Amino acid sequence: MKEMEKVRLKDVIDVKKMEEILQNFSDVTGLGAIIATPDGKNITKPINFTEHCLLVRDTLHGKKGCFRSDAELGMLSLQKGGVAISPCHCEIIDLAAPLLVNGKCWGYVLCGQVFLSPPTEEMVKRATDRAKNFGIAPDVYLEKFSKIKVVSQDYLIAAGNMLQVIASYLIELGLNKLMQEKLLEETKRRSEYENIIKTLELKTLQSQVKPHFLFNTLNTAARLAYLENAPRTAELVYSLASLLRYSLRNPDRLVSLKEEISCLKHYLHIQEIRYGDHIKSQINIPTEIENILLPIMTLQPIVENAIIHGLEEKEEGGIITIRAYQKDETIFIEVRDNGVGIDKKMLEVIKGNIEEGKGHLTGLGLQNVDRRLKMYFGKESGLEITSEKGNGTLVVLKIPIIKKGVENNEIQSNDL
């Protein structure tokens, strides 16, 4: 489509989500990071920049030099078609990697602000001269300069590769969403609403990135983390790879509850590393119902909703409990949190959106989860929400048991 040629990076990327990912990346790697457009303009705020670089960027002369170095390094990475490493105008090592999606350069990931080896006496002397040119007191400048980390080149490249893959993945998702929105507008006049949902909206669960490259890069980063004696970082990367691999599976298929819980454990592992003791989880699934079928990626958006809207805002943190049980021919799955809860007015709005098929609450959305369940299992299935301000939230999923021997691809929507 010609309209897509005019789309820019800011149109397809969720800046807040990207900044959150950059913050997590920096927390794990200790590297500064930023995303820039092809002409070198920052699209995210600087994340975890060193005191030295913030000090330099606070001067007019220094800021111009930083922007020039970023632009030159970005162009170098585009010429190479991959990761490029180079010292900036202050002799600090940075890395750039182009964000190439569908044959177009959307921008660059920039990270680093490190040394690959301790600075020499000559570098310190040149740093003193630079401080004078910037109008910064040499002793203040050298104090910040001496705090810059020393890392190996392999570590920097592995971290840069991982950040490039994740950023490109998000751009791919954003483009996918834009394309689907335009297709939805064009086909809505000629198609039934549920058919549109099945053929287009559910496709937002996938991206068109090449999975082998994505997972190979993540696995390389994990192995490097082990070599760097960072086992928790390796576990985090492996969990991310498993979660992404699961989310890229066919969104139309049904999976076992056991598979869904396995995916959920990877997601919770990432969140528990991120939040520390602030968030804990408990899972209780009887083995006799592990093989019941449900749509892929059903539980993760509900748990995500509980973390973001329930526990994240609670000062002392809290716990998410997932349990399942059977009554007659129906499976009930409960997702309970002891977070801040939902006031009566907002709870009525949420229930109304679910019952009427309106809105899109968070991530894939509670309303979308409810709609998918009803599409596969009929109007008696779906989810129910109870909550009270200050006393947490309970989401209950009702799923009828599908007899053994019925293949996933034979399950059809009750409404189609």
Q: What is the mean pLDDT of each run of 10 residues along the chain (416 residues)?
A: 65 85 88 86 89 94 90 88 92 92 85 94 94 94 94 90 85 79 66 54 48 60 70 75 74 86 89 84 94 91 89 87 94 94 84 55 65 88 90 93 49 35
pLDDT at 197: 53
Instruction: Give the chain as a 3 state SS string.
Output: CHHHHCCCHHHHCCHHHHHHHHHHHHHHHCCEEEEECCCCCECCCCECCCHHHHHHHCCHHHHHHHHHHHHHHHHHHHHHCCCEEEECCCCCEEEEEEEEECCEEEEEEEEEEEECCCCCHHHHHHHHHHHHHHCCCHHHHHHHHCCCCECCHHHHHHHHHHHHHHHHHHHHHHHHHHHHHHHHHHHCCCCCHHHHHHHCHHHHHCCCCCHHHHHHHHHHHHHHHHHCCCHHHHHHHHHHHHHHHHHCCCCCCEEEHHHHHHHHHHHHHHHHHHHHHHEEEEEECCHHHCCCEEECCCCHHHHHHHHHHHHCCCCCCEEEEEEEEEECCEEEEEEEECCCCCCHHHHHHHHHHHHHCCCCCCCCCHHHHHHHHHHHHCCCCEEEEEECCCCCEEEEEEEECCCCCCCHHHCCCCCC
pTM: 0.47
Q: Which two tokens stand for residue 335?
A: 């997702």
pLDDT of residue 376: 87
Q: At what angle do helices 231-247 and 15-29 cross, to 10 degrees?
A: 150
User: Residue 122's pLDDT is what?
Assistant: 94
Structure tokens at 413: 């929507």
- Domain architecture of the chain: domains with CATH: 2-166 (3.30.450), 257-416 (3.30.565.10)
CA distance 297 to 137: 55
Q: Please list the helix, strand and coil fractions of the chain in percent, rounded to the nearest 5, in that order.
A: 55, 20, 30
> Is 190 exposed, middle or buried, given 0-12, 13-18 or 19+ CB atoms closer than 10 A?
exposed
Q: d(Cα 24, Cα 236) in Å, to the nearest integer?
A: 11
Query: What pLDDT does residue 277 have?
Result: 84
